[in-house]
Amino acid sequence: MTKISPSMLASDFSELTSEIRKIEKAGADWVHLDVMDGIFVPNITFGAPVIKPLRKKTELVFDVHLMIVDPIRYIKDFVDAGADIITFHYESCEDPEAVIDLIHSYGKRAGLAIKPNTEAEAVKPFIDKLDMILVMTVEPGYGGQSLIEHTIDKIAVCSQMIKDSGRDIELQADGGIYAENVKRLLDAGLTVVVAGSAVFKSEDPAKTVGLLRVGL
Ligand code: DX5
Ligand code: ZN
């Protein structure tokens, strides 16, 4: 079944524990944690010191999305903070394979993210090692943006690439996803839906999480 990973970026940062409780009750599978450094993307959010205390509060899978330059410097910090899956950007480093290997050396799952204007083919050299591909459906940096249409084609291309590899690789999309537009992404082969505003601004998060799994 499709997994739902609500992005805490859209939550109330003064109430992180109760916000996590809210998505647990809503039936979320993972929790998506957006780490931004103000350099790779224009915005700054939070880092490992904020994630670590949350690890004691929930059993949800910690899906950490690193939007930082040279992510290899901080992999151990996020492992120690309780990350289960660490996704970093293809555009953020010289040697993605070294980052994947380092994440795996700690027994964690590795994801590779591509920005809207990066070709799907960029992930291909790493397909034998990856546990997840993240196709950004908005420019990384901010929540609440509109989904960029042309990124949907890349989801289909990545889905085929995963099928051809014969490996069990999750396919995630992130940004501007709502019950109203998720169907086309699911049809293209998406397996993990990230949704910030859709879940946290919903009056009925459980209903929204249910709808995000199947689309309207
Ligand atoms: C954007 C982040 C997303 C964002 C999604 O850079 O990676 O995870 O929080 O938020 P919505 O669902 O509101 O577009
Ligand atoms: Zn994200």
Find the domain containing 146 and state its range.
3-214
Question: What are residue 4's DSSP bridge partners?
Answer: 193
Q: Which of 185, 62, 85 is nearest to 135 (CA)?
A: 185
Identify which ligand lies nearest to the alpha carbon of 8: 1
Write the pLDDT tens digit of every residue in 12-62.
999 999 999 999 999 999 999 999 999 999 999 999 999 999 999 999 999
Query: Region 80-95: what's the mean pLDDT?
Result: 98
Handedness of CA 173, 194, 126, 72 (dihedral sign): positive
Give the single-character DSSP code of 31. E
Which pLDDT score, from 0 to 100, does residue 113 have?
99
Cβ atoms of 99 and 110 closer than 8 Å:
yes
pTM over 0.95? The answer is yes
Strands 132-136 and 170-174: parallel
Q: Which residue's C-alpha comes closest to atom 9 of ligand 1?
A: 143
Nearest-angstrom CA–CA distance, 36 and 30:
19
Could you confirm whether 34 is annotated as catalytic? Answer: yes
Report the C-alpha gap between 171 and 132 in whole angstroms.
6
Name the residue with the closest Cα to ligand 1, atom 4.
143
% of the chain with per-residue pLDDT over 70: 100
Return the pLDDT at 216: 87
Residue whose C-alpha is closest to residue 3's, from 198, 172, 199: 172
Note the pLDDT of residue 159.
98
The predicted model gives 175-182 an average pLDDT of: 98
pLDDT at 80: 98
Of all atoms in ligand 1, which is nearest to the CA of residue 32?
Answer: 8
Distance separating alpha carbons of residues 137 and 131, to the nearest angstrom: 19
Give the mean model confidence (pLDDT) for residues 153-179: 98
The total domain count for the chain is 1
In the chain, % of residues over pLDDT 90 = 99
* Residue 213: other Cβ atoms inside 10 A: 16
Give the residues surrounding ligand 1 with Cβ less than 6 Å away.
7, 9-10, 32, 34, 65, 138, 140-141, 143-145, 174-177, 194-198
- Specify the CATH number for the domain of residue 24: 3.20.20.70
Tens of pLDDT along 109-161? 999 999 999 999 999 999 999 999 999 999 999 999 999 999 999 999 999 99
